[in-house]
Amino acid sequence: MRLKDKVTLITGGAAGIGQVTALRLAEEGAQVILCDVAEDAGQETAARIGPNAAFYKVDVTDRQAVQEWVDDVVARYDRVDVLVNNAGILRDNQLVKFKDGQVVKQMPEADFDLVVSVNLKGVFNCTQAVVPYMIRGGGGVILNASSVVGLYGNFGQTNYVATKAGVIGMTRVWARELGRYNIRVNAVAPGFILTEMVRQMPEKVIESMKKRTPLGRMGLPEDIANAYLWLASDEASFVHGAVLSVDGGIVVGT
């Protein structure tokens, strides 16, 4: 029960890594409050956890909605101990695809803006809403979802890589700014993780991912959830401003 009675907010908690993280942290005693835009799946996840969970439909790009969510959580539970900034999306495309002397395709500006809004500004919105309450409460833990591609880059992911590198940058800034308030800030950088979405990919793509991972397998959502659990717990009380790669030793390239 490493997180017994800790009030824990998880964005993007309706499915995938967010859902498994919610279940895992609840097993360790956390009071888990999920938010997501997928209302039905979010309600189902909260129901699976039981009385120690609640779900809110929140779009992390909407500052007012985020603030109202956090304010309501504090009104109900009196504080926020842990924030897991997990919500994120993909809209992959090459910057420019050139063939026979012509531009045949490129990343749409709308896709760039949307990914930045969710993956980067969403983290900013949620953290800025939570921090004043953590300061008044004497401290807390903020955990941000980055990615190994945020460290190394990846073909066809200009927008996604920019956001995940940006999350690392914000993590390091906030570690400097918030440490004095006993708020620890860290990031987790997953490698190839076998979520339900990934399971639907062609088998040859999955095999390629395995071959690029020295441990020879895909990561599981539980691997990431366990990393969040450890970072949120007092066992990581002197870990601050770190980027924890959970990637099986992956090598990312073209």
Catalytic residues: 160
Closest of 92, 201, 247, 107 to residue 154, by C-alpha:
92
Amino acid code (one letter) for 26: A
> Which ranges constitute the DSSP H helices of the chain?
16-27, 39-49, 63-77, 109-116, 122-137, 148-152, 158-178, 196-199, 203-211, 221-232
Q: Rounded distance, CA 69 to CA 128, Å?
A: 13
Question: Token pair for residue 217?
Answer: 């397998």
What is the distance between the terminal CA atoms of the chain, rounded to a whole angstrom?
43
CA 124-126-131 angle, 5° bins: 95
Q: Are strands 53-57 and 31-36 parallel, antiparallel or unpaired?
A: parallel
What is d(CA 161, CA 119) in angstroms, rounded to the nearest whole number? Answer: 10
**187 DSSP β-pair partners:** 144, 243
Q: Among all chains, which residue has been given the structure tokens 């030793």?
A: 249
Backbone dihedral angles phi then psi of residue 179, each to the nearest 5 degrees: -55, -35
Q: Which residue has the tokens 């700014």?
A: 177
At 14, list the tokens: 């309706």
Residue where the block lists tokens 């990615």: 147
